[in-house]
Structure 1
Amino acid sequence: MKITCQTADLLKGVNIVSKAVPTKTTMAILECILIDASSGEIKLTANDMEIGIETIVEGSILERGIIALDAKKFSEIVRKLPKNEVTIETDSTFKTSITCEKAKFDIIGKSGEDFSYIPNPNRNQPIIISQFTLREIISKTIFSVADNENNKMMTGELLEIRNNKLKVVALDGHRVSIRNVDLKNETNDVKVVVPKKTLNEIIKIIDGGVDDIVNIFVTENHIIFEFDQTTVVSRIIEGEYFKIEQMLSADYETKIKINKKEFFDCIDRATILVNEGQKMPIIVNTSENTMSISISSFIGSMNESIDIVKEGKDVMIGFNPKFVMDALRAIDDEEISLYMLNAKSPCFIKADDGSYIYIVLPVNFNNPGAN
């Protein structure tokens, strides 16, 4: 194999596929990036058997072939090459030369034939969405996905399409994040749970705007994202996702309109008195058109009042401040609406147009260390 390409193009491709190189594996071949120049395109591929990423690099193929190179060393070499044309050449013993200007590296690769190619299931009707919208709805919900694997379903996000509306749901047992978006193209109904890792990598890779498209295909065992010159194939999480419809239809006895930035900044100030790792709740107490936010820890205490517009009953309720701040950080609206029933029921932060719902469960503020 012999190919040439620009350092910047090669580096971009390497950075994209490196996200699918496993950090730990018993299969040495999976620690490699595959360079496939056997069929008229220069394709880079990495695969950890859960997620596979393939991208096309612009360049010239002088001699067709295929090689697998150690991902870590190959990435380091490409990253430090001069910004000029790179030549990659291999021989029959898998010895690979990487040359750019006066720099030349010789490394030993592995047979590309031994590489585990990413699955290529049959495509059905695509879900078409802009790169900007996909990145927005994932980044503004994914913080609610559980990190531990005690419940596999909580380690992914639900992507559900019904009546041409896409709903994205993430939850971890203490909070729920929901984003709703209208799709412009006619799309079949779909319900699939996608691993957090896959979605995290997707939002790192896609950098396009509202006019740049992602085609999403859902098959029996996989979800496929195609955009620009890149394909990401991931296993889905099998099983039935949590039924949240009953929670979403909950009644409320208190509705509060509040300035989002004032609310966020107040909570942020309160957390100064909480050491990292401690679980001290903020206590929200409404009276007339004022909300007081207080916190008490071993370091000290803090109390601050914010003007609000309140409908219904006064309420006193405790929250994990991080969960509330995560939700507020994901909302762009200047003014937000909170809906509460009582001190034992969840708080809803909902958009009037239904585009987002954030639900935060209360904590017992009689015991500051409780979660």
Structure 2
Amino acid sequence: MKATIERATLLKSLGHVQSVVERRNTIPILSNVLVEAREDGSIRLMATDLDLQVDESVPAQVSQAGATTVSAHTFFDIVRKLPEGSQVELSAAEGKMQVVAGRARFNLSTLPRDDFPVIAEGELPTRFELPAQTLRQIIDKTRFAISSEETRYYLMGIFLHVADEKLKAAATDGHRLARVTVDKPEGADGMPDVIVPKKCVGELRKLLDEVEGTVEVSLSPTKIRFGLGNAVLTSKLIDGTFPDYNRVIPTANDKLLKLDPKSFMAGVDRVSTIASEKTRAVKIALDRDKVTLSVTSPENGLAVEELAADYGSDGLEIGFNARYLMDILHEIEGDTVEVHLADAAAPTLLRENDKSSALYVLMPMRV
């Protein structure tokens, strides 16, 4: 194998693929990235952890086609430290890959290309396209609610499904729920309900930053593939059943509070400075057209802040985890957030307005 590629191009692509590789691996080949020089004048880079795989092709000058695998993190670190603007020459033979740029020369150990595992996709019968912007919105507005509790593995991802002629994405950790509803894309009819794992969501979000236009989504009940320009991300799906989250979305919360999400978030942030790390509870007292935020901490004392608000129902005191509340408020883009309440023990619904694509549910805390 012999090829020359521009450092910036190689670095960007390597950055995409090497982040899939786990730092500690019991199987040596999984620490490696596949480097394949092709006769069509491109270099293909690929990495996998057996559940997730990123495959990207970038333009290069190829004088001899061939392929090898080399330590992903080492290769990435070398390219990162090479002089800007340099041309990188790659050549592989007899168990070594040589990397040359300017006066720098590295001889790296390799493992055979034939040992490199590839996720077998099988048939992916459901295919549709989504605007990159829509996919970014789906991820940003739901992923903070993904659970990290391994005993409830079926909550460790974003649930994608079609219902009521819409494509819906939901995530919950049992304390809060985030759901986004978008128009159903053409081709999504009959799509199986799938749970996209947290790691796949994270890698997909990074790749989406550089994609304009649309993303091709192909899936089966066990695998999902995203076509993102030069890169293809393939992932196994979580094998489990997502709970019926519609049961926790309140429909009869009759107390409506409206206020500015940014000042609400800033107020919660300020008073929660003294909250104990364990509970992070903030008490919210509602009165006519005002909200009083307070935190009482045995170690640190008391913090209180008043905010102007639009509220016309009976007085109410309710407590929330400050971090969870701020995560939701961070995703509200407009000038107003609607908070629909029932009582101090019932789930609370938050959204921008009734036309908003995103909806959030937050469980209260005792304070």
Match of 1:364, SS state, is coil
User: Alpha-carbon deviation of 1:312?
Assistant: 3.2
* 1:87 counterpart (76, 83, 89): 89
Against the structure 1 CA distance between its residues 280 and 74, is the aligned structure 2 distance closer, same or farther, given a 3 Å change threshold? closer
Q: Name the counterpart of 2:97.
A: 96
1:218-269 Cα shifts (integer Å, max 9, x gaps): 1131111111100111110112211012222431121111111121111011
Against the structure 1 CA distance between its residues 208 and 181, is the aligned structure 2 distance closer, same or farther, given a 3 Å change threshold? farther
* Structural mapping, 1:55-74, within 5 Å: 55-74=56-75
* Paired AA for residue 21 in structure 1: V
Q: Name the counterpart of 1:332.
A: 333
Q: Aligned pair 1:46/2:47, yes or no? A: yes
Q: Name the counterpart of 1:317.
A: 318
User: Alpha-carbon deviation of 1:126?
Assistant: 2.1
Match of 2:263, SS state, is helix
Determine if contact 2:250/2:347 at 8 Å carries over to the other structure. Answer: no
Alpha-carbon distance in structure 1 between the residues aligned to 2:327 and 2:158: 17
Q: Name the counterpart of 1:174.
A: 175
* Paired AA for residue 90 in structure 2: I
Determine if contact 1:128/1:183 at 8 Å carries over to the other structure. Answer: no
Determine if contact 1:179/1:356 at 8 Å carries over to the other structure. Answer: yes
* Paired AA for residue 348 in structure 2: C
Alpha-carbon distance in structure 1 between the residues aligned to 2:118 and 2:64: 21
Determine if contact 2:86/2:101 at 8 Å carries over to the other structure. Answer: yes
Match of 2:286, SS state, is strand
Match of 1:295, SS state, is strand
* Structural mapping, 1:1-371, within 5 Å: 1-38=1-38, 40=40, 41-82=42-83, 83-91=85-93, 93-162=94-163, 164-183=165-184, 185-190=186-191, 191-208=193-210, 211-275=212-276, 277-297=277-297, 298-350=299-351, 351-365=353-367
TM-score by length of 1: 0.93
Alpha-carbon distance in structure 1 between the residues aligned to 2:250 and 2:317: 22
User: Alpha-carbon deviation of 1:183?
Assistant: 4.2
Structure 1 residue ranges without an equivalent (≥5): 366-371
Determine if contact 2:294/2:304 at 8 Å carries over to the other structure. Answer: yes
Alpha-carbon distance in structure 2 between the residues aligned to 1:333 and 1:287: 24
Match of 2:251, SS state, is coil
Match of 1:242, SS state, is coil
Alpha-carbon distance in structure 2 between the residues aligned to 1:99 and 1:164: 55
* Paired AA for residue 151 in structure 1: R
TM-score by length of 2: 0.94
* Paired AA for residue 205 in structure 1: L
Against the structure 1 CA distance between its residues 71 and 307, is the aligned structure 2 distance closer, same or farther, given a 3 Å change threshold? same
Against the structure 1 CA distance between its residues 120 and 270, is the aligned structure 2 distance closer, same or farther, given a 3 Å change threshold? same
Q: Name the counterpart of 1:369.
A: none
Against the structure 1 CA distance between its residues 302 and 128, is the aligned structure 2 distance closer, same or farther, given a 3 Å change threshold? same
Alpha-carbon distance in structure 1 between the residues aligned to 2:224 and 2:22: 19
1:301-335 Cα shifts (integer Å, max 9, x gaps): 12222222224332211111111000001111110
Q: Which moved more, 1:123-132 or 1:235-244?
A: 123-132
Q: Name the counterpart of 1:368.
A: none
CA-based RMSD of the aligned residues comes to 1.6
Determine if contact 2:143/2:171 at 8 Å carries over to the other structure. Answer: yes
User: Alpha-carbon deviation of 1:17?
Assistant: 0.5
Alpha-carbon distance in structure 2 between the residues aligned to 1:22 and 1:278: 30
Determine if contact 2:294/2:302 at 8 Å carries over to the other structure. Answer: yes
Q: Which moved more, 1:265-274 or 1:157-166?
A: 157-166
* Paired AA for residue 330 in structure 1: E
Alpha-carbon distance in structure 2 between the residues aligned to 1:7 and 1:270: 48
Determine if contact 1:53/1:118 at 8 Å carries over to the other structure. Answer: no
Aligned pairs, how many? Answer: 362
Alpha-carbon distance in structure 1 between the residues aligned to 2:256 and 2:217: 38
Determine if contact 1:280/1:296 at 8 Å carries over to the other structure. Answer: no
1:124-179 Cα shifts (integer Å, max 9, x gaps): 34221122221222022111111120101111110112355221111001111111
User: Alpha-carbon deviation of 1:39?
Assistant: 5.8
Percent identity among equivalent residues? 26
Determine if contact 2:50/2:118 at 8 Å carries over to the other structure. Answer: no
